Amino acid sequence: MLGILSACWDLVTGLLLSVWSIITLVATWGWEVLFYLHTTAPRLEGLVVGVLLTWLLLRREKHPVIRVISAPLKLVLDILDLSWDWCAEVAGDVWEAVSGTISKVATKATGLLRTTGSWIMTKLTGLRDKLRKPE
C-alpha cells in the first residue's frame, strides 16, 4: 500500500515539476522575445503593442475583466480625442483670424496704391496739359 502511495506521490510531483518547467520555459522565451523587440526592433514592438491594444479595445464590451483592464486606455484615448478636437478648433480659429487680417491689410494696401496711383496720374496729366498748351 505504501508503494502505491509513493508511486502516486511521484506521479503528482513529476507532473507539477513538468508543468512548472513548461511555464518557466514559455516565460523565458517570452521575455527574450520582448527584450529582442525592445532593443533591436522598436518599430515592430510599437506595432505589436498597437495591435494588442486595438484587440483589447475591440473586445472591451464582451468581458468585464477586459473592460476593467482597458478603462485607463479608454480614458487616455478620450483625452487625446478631446485634445485633438481642441487643437484643430484653435488652429482653424487662428487661420481665420490671420487670413482675415491679411485680407483686410491687403485690401487697404491695394486701395491706397490705387488712390496714390490715380492721384499721381492726375497730377502728371495736369502737368502734361500745362506743358502742351501754347502760350
pLDDT digit string (tens) for 45-67? 999 988 988 888 888 888 888 88
- Count of CA atoms in the C-beta half-sphere (13 A) of 63: 9
pLDDT in the model for residue 64 = 85
Q: Is the dihedral of CA 56, 62, 68, 73 positive or negative?
A: positive
What does the pLDDT look like over 114-131, one tens digit per residue? 999 999 999 999 998 888
* 133: pLDDT strictly greater than 90: no
How large is the average pLDDT for residues 66-82?
87
pLDDT in the model for residue 135 = 63
How large is the average pLDDT for residues 96-116?
94
Closest Cα to residue 10, out of 18, 21, 20?
18
How large is the average pLDDT for residues 8-15?
94
Measure the CA–CA gap between 27 and 93, rounded to whole angstroms: 53
Q: What residue spans define the domains of the chain?
A: 15-77, 99-135
